[in-house]
Structure 1
Amino acid sequence: MSTPPLPPPPFGPGDEPDPFSDARQVRWSAQDQAWTTGPLTPPVEAPVRIGSRGWVHLLLLVLTFVTMTWAGSSFFLNYVSAVGTRRVVVTAPVALLGGLWFSVPALLILGSHELGHYFACRYYRIPASLPYFVPAPMFSIVGTLGAVIRMALPRTRRALFDVGIAGPLAGFLVLLPLAIYGVSHSYVVRLPRQFALQGGLNLGDPLLLTLLQKFYFGALPDRALFVMHPTGFAAWFGLLATALNLFPAGQLDGGHIVHAIVGRASRYVTLVSVLILLGLAVFVSYSWAVWTVLLVLMTYAFGLDHPPVGEEHLPIGNVRLALAVVAVAMFALSFTPVPISPMDFVGGR
């Protein structure tokens, strides 16, 4: 017994509705013998369980707060002593309290970034965990390796784009006023003749911090040292994390955004990005080596191809393309070719 063909749906090629944006879907009603629209009915799938007990997230947050406050105390001591050019006496409790000027804003930046992803997942009903903060008391000058969330893969290109950009956008909106506060509360000290600074680390300035420094202090004179407020270091760390996450590779935020725009061609963008990071690590600054190794390992584990998503044929729309330009601008403001380098400053004669 043959079944008569269905009449064509009430839309033409390229005019298909976006069920995930208006929570509606078009379907054939056998009873009414017509195409109808109704509430979106998600497909029946095996439940995806992502996350862990709440105490794990809380414990990691507390540990990260402690390690970042400890790291921040060093930034505070450098701030009050003008990187050793002033003789000051600071007790341990005061130094730890001063570390809060770094740890609290840095955690706000990290947390807002990950919660941006989390709430975007909630909006699209994508299973996702709360943020996992990663303490690093021995291996990081900032006391942490960042934060991550676990989530299922978005079903559509539009959802993939929104989830990918939500984190960097939320983090940058929180970061911007903190960067302004940190730079505006920094100061410049003139180093005496024959004074030398050796053995420390110099943190390269992203474009945003460079512009703010020029705005507040202008061109620095000879034998001048810019002393950053601890909150400025929190903004520096947030900008570094933003640049790394927006790198257009693999399953980083930038990789999600690129795949949502160009589809399967994103594999070539990932390959070029890995080669660029390798070049930065070999020819520009060894400080890129750790991130290069992590990206290479991730590419080796998951491959160059981004996991496919549904509705690859649907365009993401002009609004999202405009947001992609915003993402490029955020990356440009956050990127620094040499994040960390040895300090070797010798005062003039």
Structure 2
Amino acid sequence: MTQKTSFHILLFVLTVVSTLFMGSYFEGGDPIKDPWQIFLGFPYSFTLLAILGAHETGHYLVCRRYGVPATLPYFIPAPPPFILGTFGAVIKIKSRLPHRKALFDIGIAGPLSGLAIAIPACFLGLMFSEIKPIGTSAEGLRLGDSIIFKLISYLALGSVPANQDIVLNSIAFAGWFGILVTSFNLLPIGQLDGGHIIYAIIGEKAETLGKVLLGVLLVLGYFWPGWFFWAILLVILGFRHPPPVYDFIPLDKKRKLIGALMLLIFALTFIPVPISLE
């Protein structure tokens, strides 16, 4: 086992522990007082890491398919009080991509793989979540709804009366976060997954589009301050996307149609105000 592989494993183990802790608290446990209660967090930890792992593994496998060197996923632990227990996962691509086809396929692989786990997780978790009258639950964070999450909620629970609310269990919460991560990554800016996709379709014009969307994020920041953080982060990372080696080879029509589908998925997963205080 190489030193790099050991580091990947260490980060993954630490992320398992941190998500188990937060999942236990989510279920009403206290693993500090009773260490055995850490296992109450297993449903949350397993679901969330499966979603994040599927996302990054999707990127990794398509990189391998095109002969593009890439690292294994780096899972990033986040200790309390960060409520998720993780800052997510990433892979590092070590070389320029050969052409737009590879760029596009790598870009869509992560979001689609993550959603393939997140959507069933939401459905399963919602089936076992509670429905309570508004105002009877303890005050805390209120989660925003995407169109796709509303649809899943309707399929799992039917129509919920306006005077009642859904209290998500830990599996549904992990699925909700997986959908949110997909939405963030599909922002068509810079080197996010959405940035890969849009560059593969329109080339250097993607930089101009990214700058326009930065203004949109700043406007959205009036409704949710977290968009200001995203705007600053994207400015730091930059709007310019490194071109593939054979950038002159255009993307085929089939992938352009899939790109339009990814834009629809972005719209369905987007949450203008992801989190607010009750």
Normalised to the residue count of structure 2, the TM-score between the two structures is 0.91
Q: Of residues 130, 134, 140 in structure 1, which corresponds to 2:82? A: 140
Q: Of residues 308, 315, 321 in structure 1, which corresponds to 2:243? A: 308
Q: Does 1:298 align with 2:237?
A: yes
Higher mean alpha-carbon deviation, 119-128 vs 168-177, is at 168-177
Partner of 1:4 in structure 2?
none
2:223 is matched by which residue type in structure 1? V
Alignment partners' CA distance in 1, 2:207 and 2:36: 50
Partner of 1:46 in structure 2?
none
Alignment of 1:41-190 (within 5 A): 53-77=4-28, 92-93=34-35, 95-138=37-80, 140-151=82-93, 152-190=95-133
Higher mean alpha-carbon deviation, 314-323 vs 69-78, is at 69-78
Displacement of 1:297 after TM fit? 1.5
> Which has a greater percent of strand?
1
Displacement of 1:213 after TM fit? 1.7
SS at match of 1:77: coil
Judged with a 3 Å threshold, the aligned counterparts in structure 2 of structure 1 residues 52 and 170 are, in CA distance, closer, same or farther, namely farther
Q: How many residues align?
A: 273
| Residues 194-225 of structure 1: CA deviation (Å, up to 9, x unaligned) | x5743x11121222221122233344335423
Alignment partners' CA distance in 1, 2:148 and 2:34: 33
The answer (yes or no) to whether the contact 2:126–2:157 under 8 Å persists in 1 is no
Normalised to the residue count of structure 1, the TM-score between the two structures is 0.73
1:265 is matched by which residue type in structure 2? K
Partner of 1:202 in structure 2?
142
- Which consecutive residues of structure 1, in runs of 5 or more, have no partner in the other structure? 1-50, 79-90, 344-349
Alignment partners' CA distance in 2, 1:220 and 1:74: 27
Partner of 1:43 in structure 2?
none
Q: CA RMSD in A?
A: 2.1
Displacement of 1:294 after TM fit? 1.6
SS at match of 1:284: coil
Which protein is bigger by CA-based radius of gyration?
A: 1
Indicate the percent of aligned positions where both proteins have the same amino acid: 40
| Residues 209-244 of structure 1: CA deviation (Å, up to 9, x unaligned) | 211222333443354231112111111111111111
Judged with a 3 Å threshold, the aligned counterparts in structure 2 of structure 1 residues 238 and 225 are, in CA distance, closer, same or farther, namely same
2:49 is matched by which residue type in structure 1? L
- Which consecutive residues of structure 2, in runs of 5 or more, have no partner in the other structure? none
Judged with a 3 Å threshold, the aligned counterparts in structure 2 of structure 1 residues 77 and 316 are, in CA distance, closer, same or farther, namely same
Displacement of 1:60 after TM fit? 0.5
Alignment partners' CA distance in 2, 1:216 and 1:176: 11
